[in-house]
Amino acid sequence: MLGKVKDRLLGAIESMTDEEVSEKIRRLDPRLNEFGVDPFGFDPKFVKYGIPFALFLYRKYFRVESVGLSNVPAGRVLLIANHSGQIPLDGAMICVAMIVDAEPPRMVRSMVETWVPTLPVLSWFFPRVGQIVGTRENCQRLLERDAAILAFPEGVRGVSKNFAKRYQLEEFGLGFMRLALRTGAPVVPVAVVGAEEQVPSFYSFKPLAKALGIPAFPITPTFPWLGPLGLLPLPVKYRLHFGKPLHFLGDPDDEDSVVAEKVKQVRRTLQRMIRDGLEARKHVFW
Amino acid sequence: MSSGRSRKRGGEPIAIAGISGNLGRLLTRTLHGEHPIIGIDQRPFEEKPKDVTHYQVDARRSRAEDIFRRRDIRALVHLGLVHHPTPGRPNNREWNVLGAVKLLEYCQRYSVPKVVLLSTAYMYGPGPTNSNFLSEDTPLLGAKDYPEMRALIEWDMFAQSFFWKYPAVETVILRPVHVVGPNVRNAPCNYLRMRKPPMLLGFDPMLQLVHENDLIQAILLSLEPGMRGVFNIVGPGEVPLSILLKELGKTPVPIPHPLAKPLATRLWRWGLSKFPPGELPHLRFQCMVDGTRAKEVLGYRPRYNLKRTIHSVLG
């Protein structure tokens, strides 16, 4: 009985996706085993279940404009983007862009925190849609399988930064560069323009954030005054700029200062792309 | 000259400790006829092939040492440690380990050139911070939620230090993933044979299984001269637990994970369930390993595909 309801529900969700997108999802990864799963637990079927909502955000709500998708080279690649918006939807939008607007469609994998496997439902849903625990070994293994990896070197500091600091990149971690050097993967900077205005936070209430165990407790014109509804992102227009691939050579185990030089180069490029993107846009909302 | 030497080697027996277990009997069936076999086990060996000499001894007694003193043993294969706890029976792993340590001592003392020891990928332990594919160098943290595992981990560590201390003995440590097959009666098989196996609500970890015959093949490859080291032994692939149960036609019973541990512990203590509570983390987190080293060094390739491996559980 319950199974039937579930099947019908999943069928309904599946039928919301048009044939063109379904076809693209089918083309995502040909290296699945006889049960339709890859070694990391990725199952394209679940992308189909998740994509109607993501596509709504992508096409209708944020009206995402993706520029330069053809810059993403075939084979292994690291997409490096700015992280923002209190509610991190930027990753999902980049993933959707690479599935529906790139040719050939690519599955983008990003790395999740280690608390994800401890939570019911999320623990299996994330791996099924290709997102796995962010350890160095996992990332390296995926790159060696020629995957496209999305990373936000600002980490959670980027997501929780205040409105006054919008579009100013935080410090970058070095891990992604060491992986790029180790696997020979090119780095493609992705500037996300628009997301930094979706939840304008004036102030982060640190003691409360700490008490709740979350990275930030933002105070916005609508939150917490309107309750959880106040966290609803504004319908800003997203623009994703995919830059030219950067190639790096060197010893992956070199001193931090040497690797940091290369990271700076990526950060500068990304900052410049963000600035250009901001100058080119006419309005935050359209 | 080399052929003469190998003929002589072929004449020396292979000792199998833990021969009376299911895996021991399977290995004996594969090896006997080609190699003389000596069995060492406290348990009787029922339906023993005629050409197998079985010593029903406690490895800690000097009678066990006499076997090594009197015979030129070509290799020791130790299978006797990894079996899973049974409800209502005391855990006798501690003295099992003591016996195994003694056997290694005899191997060193009487110059046995090869030792193959069966450990398990359980040693790494399932956990949320695990990488998807753990290498042989991963620390062995499997006893954190599974105290019965501690003796086994100490045994694996002891075997590793033996490997370094006595380079004259070629020591191989095999760490297979969940071994399944018609002859196997371990915790994962018991679980998969349940009519309504429990699952933890909202958790569906990826699993690796290896067919018993593929494990036997890995043991045979380890017996080849020159092979030494620690090897993860994987099967043909990875599969989510839910798909595995569906393939076997099982209807899982979802249990919220905060309730699972007290429930499993009580049922186990009262002898009502065959599911050791220490196995619960395997239903929640993944503990998958990287089998590249065995592939490259031993030349091991699983012969059973994923479907056949899964269905072999039901025989």
Q: Which of A35-39, A123-127, A221-225, B279-283 has the lowest mean pLDDT?
A: A221-225
- Cross-chain residue pair B203–A124, CB shorter than 8 Å: yes
Q: Which residues pair with A133 in a beta bridge?
A: A112
Predicted local distance difference test score (pLDDT) of residue A14: 77
- Cross-chain residue pair B204–A124, CB shorter than 8 Å: yes
Q: Which of A97-106, A211-220, A259-268, B244-253 has the lowest mean pLDDT?
A: A211-220
**Do strands B114-118 and B75-78 pair parallel, antiparallel, or not at all (unpaired)?**
parallel
- Residue burial A28-67, b: 16+ Cβ < 10 Å; e: rest: bbeeebebebbbbbbbbebbbbbbbebbebbeebbbbebb
- Residue burial B53-86, b: 16+ Cβ < 10 Å; e: rest: ebbebebeeeebbebbeebebbbbbbbbbbbbbe
How many whole angstroms separate alpha carbon B105 and alpha carbon B110?
A: 9
How many whole angstroms separate alpha carbon B64 and alpha carbon B110?
A: 12
Domain residue limits, chain A: 64-198+233-280
- Cross-chain residue pair B285–A115, CB shorter than 8 Å: no
Predicted local distance difference test score (pLDDT) of residue A105: 93
CA B202 to chain centre: 30
Which secondary structure element, helix H or strand E, spans residue B77, and what is its range?
strand B75-78
- Cross-chain residue pair A124–B128, CB shorter than 8 Å: no
CA angle, residues B200, B201, B207, in degrees to nearest 5: 45
- Cross-chain residue pair A117–B286, CB shorter than 8 Å: yes
Digit-coded pLDDT (tens) for A234-272: 999 999 999 999 999 999 999 999 999 999 999 999 999
**Do strands B238-240 and B206-211 pair parallel, antiparallel, or not at all (unpaired)?**
antiparallel
Predicted local distance difference test score (pLDDT) of residue A22: 86
Say which DSSP state B297 is in. Answer: I
The tokens for B64 are 């066990």
Mean pLDDT of B97-110: 92
With an 8 Å Cβ cutoff, is B129 touching chain A?
Answer: yes
Nearest to B85 by CA among B23, B24, B150: B150
With an 8 Å Cβ cutoff, is B284 touching chain A?
Answer: yes
Mean pLDDT of B261-284: 89
pLDDT at B84 over 80: no
Mean pLDDT of chain B: 89
Digit-coded pLDDT (tens) for A157-166: 888 888 888 8
Predicted local distance difference test score (pLDDT) of residue A13: 79
Predicted local distance difference test score (pLDDT) of residue B92: 61
Predicted local distance difference test score (pLDDT) of residue A159: 84
Domain B2-184+210-237+288-303: which topology? Rossmann fold (3.40.50)
Specify whether the CB–CB gap between B88 and B199 falls below 8 A: no
Give the gap in angstroms from C-alpha B142 to the nearest C-alpha of chain A: 17
Q: Residue B291 — very low, low, confident or very high, per pLDDT cuts 50/70/90?
A: very high
Q: How much is the ipTM here?
A: 0.85
pLDDT at A152 over 50: yes
Digit-coded pLDDT (tens) for A49-66: 888 999 999 999 999 999
Pick the CATH number of A64-198+233-280 from 3.40.1130.10, 3.40.50.620, 3.30.450.40, 3.40.50.12780: 3.40.1130.10
With an 8 Å Cβ cutoff, is A257 touching chain B?
Answer: no
Single-letter residue type at B41: D
Domain residue limits, chain B: 2-184+210-237+288-303
pLDDT at B91 over 60: no
Digit-coded pLDDT (tens) for B160-183: 999 999 999 999 999 999 999 999
pLDDT at A15 over 90: no
Predicted local distance difference test score (pLDDT) of residue A241: 96
- String of DSSP letters for A139-164: HHHHHHTT-EEEE-TTTHHHHT--GG
- Residue burial A82-118, b: 16+ Cβ < 10 Å; e: rest: bbbbbebbbbbbbbbbbbbebeebbbbbbbbeeebbb
